[in-house]
Amino acid sequence: MLLALLLCYGGFTALCLSMDRHHADLLGRKPSTRRRLNMRLGGWLLLGLSFWAAVSATGWGLGLVEWFAVLMLSALMLVLLLPYRPRLALWLAALGLVASPVCAVLT
């Protein structure tokens, strides 16, 4: 479930950064069209990988429930961190994406 959480948070952060306003607030400039498209594609890919991680770990019955719980938790974390600690939100996403291969190997 930790792997699914890390991937969900990274996916939601990438989707957040694909929006002009959030990208400008967090990184200081507006994204190019190509970067925006790559962020969207990467975000949806990470969300799909998190779905795969949750379902493959515990099966369809419990995996779907865990995945929806992880979706809500990671979205809540991002929504609460963005207004108050935006740099921390980016650091957590980067740390989660770096730690996810390690988590995948250990589980």
Domain extents for the chain?
A: 2-101
Q: Greatest CA span in the chain, whole angstroms?
A: 43
Residue 105: predicted pLDDT: 87
**pLDDT tens, 45-72?**
999 999 999 999 899 999 999 999 999 9
Confidence of residue 74 (pLDDT cuts 50, 70, 90): very high
Alpha-carbon gap, residue 73 to 54, rounded angstroms? 14
Q: Can you count the helices (H) and strands (E) in the chain?
A: 4, 0
Residue 48: predicted pLDDT: 96
Phi and psi angles of residue 103, each rounded to the nearest 5 degrees, phi first: -65, -35
